[in-house]
Amino acid sequence: MIIINSFLLALGQIGDPRFRKVLLLGVGLTFALLVGVYAGFLWLIQTFIGPEVTLPVLGEVTWVGGLLSVSSLLFMMVLSVFLMVPVASAITSMFLDEVAQAVEDRHYRGLPPVAPVPFGEALKDTVNFLGVLIVANLLAFVLYVFFAPFALFIFWGLNGFLLGREYFTLAAMRRVGRDGARRLRSQHLITIWAAGVLMAVPLSVPLVNLLIPILGAATFTHIFHALHGR
């Protein structure tokens, strides 16, 4: 199966020094960005509710001191189920080109050089997609309330679709351009969606989710080449 084979190939490259360097840098920046997003989230809560917030089970969480407390870190790990989706999107946008090049240098040698995407265009794509991702997940909270027993499956399905769309588009655009990426995405929508769900499921597992942005970028590079070669 294309998805499983692509994921296993991505895992198999962890020992590659070049890939490992990007992976470790990606994990570090993912964690830093997650902490930053969480700090902003906590600041917003305490701006509107007050300097001290009492959370179920975890108890009282204050601002600066609470940010580094054990209870706050535990709360961040729980919230990372939701916060990691936009974080993963941002990290993937930052590192996909470097990850994809490392993958292609090892598994798809002989390909012509890739023309770099202009920074302004890449930034615009990233901001637009982040906006869609955040709005879609905010709206999905309504579904989570009305269909609580299925909330996790809704979360996986929605974000699997959105992340799969972004990961594949970024990987494909490097080789076939925006229009080519759109055509391939339409032709293989179910495969790309399923692969996105494969990325979304471990994003809901604290600590494991730190690895997913880089592994996802590598996986979708393999998926693109498998689908493009058909």
Q: What is the pLDDT of residue 196?
A: 95
For position 148, what pLDDT does the model report? 85
pLDDT at 64: 45
- Rounded to 5 degrees, what angle do the CA atoms 164, 161, 172 make? 30
Question: pLDDT tens for residues 51-71?
Answer: 555 554 445 555 445 554 555
Report H helices in 108-204.
119-146, 151-187, 189-203
Question: Per-residue pLDDT tens for 171-181?
Answer: 999 899 888 99
pLDDT(97) > 70: yes
What is the C-alpha separation between 159 and 197, in angstroms, rounded? 7
* Alpha carbons 141 and 16: distance in angstroms, whole number: 40
Q: Please report the pLDDT score of residue 137 as a whole number.
A: 84
pTM of the model: 0.81
pLDDT (mean) for 128-134: 83
d(CA 74, CA 221): 34
Question: What DSSP designation does 50 have?
Answer: -
Q: What is the pLDDT of residue 138?
A: 84
- Dist. CA 84–CA 31, nearest whole Å: 9
Look at strands 52-55 and 59-62 and give their pairing: antiparallel
What phi, psi does 205 have (nearest 5°)?
-110, 110
Answer yes or no: is pLDDT of 10 > 70.
yes
Read off the pLDDT band of 220 (50, 70, 90). Answer: very high
Residues 132 and 188: beta-carbon distance below 8 Å: no
**Kind and range of the H or E run holding 230:** none
